[in-house]
């Protein structure tokens, strides 16, 4: 099996097992083995398939880049990653989709990152994937980052279905006040931008600065503002 095909196979197993275990098989498996055993199985499969994907990615040779990557693409990717960092940090507070927040969707406010999209964490992962495709357009990277995008955005759709079934009053009301697509609820007048909070803005900025700085020692090239000031 060629390097790219191995990456594709392991990426498909990572995404496919996540979808299958999170949705059609979750209820019967929890009923059969219990919640704790299911979470253990889920984690084991997730780590095993993720590890296989990482191993295949590292072993695969880099193909020729599909397009030239200049400073303007780096600048675009850096700006998008700052937005992704704000979405991710903002999603950690008052998010009715997080474990332990069941039943809170009916009272949740469509403010801050939730005015942008009701799935800020999933969109932050998707933006991460897009940015890394933009700046490293080789076959193996397109496969892995494409898998992350599919997992994030497809998972958001399936999450809506699952949450609506578990909370038939609260989640549809939350959906009516928010949007899957970024800024769609704002454009439709259902949500208003504002109220992001320091945890999103300052936290996102700190994470963005730290993560982009770490690219040089970890990946061998500078990213973000460090590309121009390092």
Give per-residue pLDDT as tens, 182-197: 999 999 999 999 889 9
Q: Mean pLDDT across the stretch 34-53?
A: 91
18/225 Cα distance (integer angstroms) = 34
Q: Mean pLDDT across the stretch 104-112?
A: 87
Question: How much is the pLDDT for 1?
Answer: 56
169/164 Cα distance (integer angstroms) = 8
CA nearest 105: which of 47, 163, 161?
163
* pTM greater than 0.85 (yes/no): yes
- Rounded to 5°, the CA angle 58-63-65 comes to 115
Q: How many CB atoms lie within 10 A of CB 212?
A: 21
How is the chain split into domains, by residue range?
Answer: 1-61, 66-229
Let me know: does 201 contact 209? Beta carbons within 8 Å: no
Residues 6+ apart with CB under 8 A from 45: 17, 21
Q: Mean pLDDT across the stretch 222-229?
A: 91
Question: How much is the pLDDT for 106?
Answer: 81
pLDDT at 149 over 70: yes
pLDDT tens-digit series, residues 135-145: 999 999 999 99
Question: How much is the pLDDT for 230?
Answer: 60
Question: How much is the pLDDT for 3?
Answer: 80
pLDDT tens-digit series, residues 65-103: 999 999 999 999 999 999 999 999 999 999 999 887 777
Q: Percentage of residues in the chain with pLDDT exceeding 70?
A: 99
Residues 6+ apart with CB under 8 A from 35: none
Q: Percentage of residues in the chain with pLDDT exceeding 90?
A: 74
């Amino acid at each position: 099996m060629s390097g790219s095909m191995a990456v594709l196979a392991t990426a498909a197993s990572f995404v496919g097992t996540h979808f299958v275990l999170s949705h059609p098989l979750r209820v019967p498996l929890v009923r059969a083995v219990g919640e704790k055993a299911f979470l253990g199985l889920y984690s084991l499969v997730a780590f095993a398939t993720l590890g296989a994907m990482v191993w295949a990615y590292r072993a695969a040779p880099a193909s020729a880049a599909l397009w030239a990557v200049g400073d303007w693409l780096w600048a675009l990717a850096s700006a998008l990653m700052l937005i992704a960092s704000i979405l991710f940090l903002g999603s950690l507070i008052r998010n009715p989709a997080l474990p332990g927040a069941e039943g809170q969707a009916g009272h949740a406010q469509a403010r801050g990152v939730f005015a942008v999209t009701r799935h800020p964490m999933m969109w932050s992962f998707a933006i991460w994937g897009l940015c890394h495709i933009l700046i490293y357009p080789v076959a193996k990277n397109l496969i892995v980052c494409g898998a992350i995008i599919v997992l994030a955005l497809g998972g958001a759709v399936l999450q809506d279905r699952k949450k609506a079934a578990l909370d038939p009053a609260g989640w549809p009301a939350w959906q009516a006040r928010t949007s899957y697509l970024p800024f769609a609820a704002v454009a439709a007048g259902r949500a208003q931008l504002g109220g992001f909070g320091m945890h999103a803005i300052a936290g996102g900025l700190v994470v963005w600065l730290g993560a982009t700085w770490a690219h040089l020692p970890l990946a061998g090239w500078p990213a973000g503002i460090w590309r121009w000031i390092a």
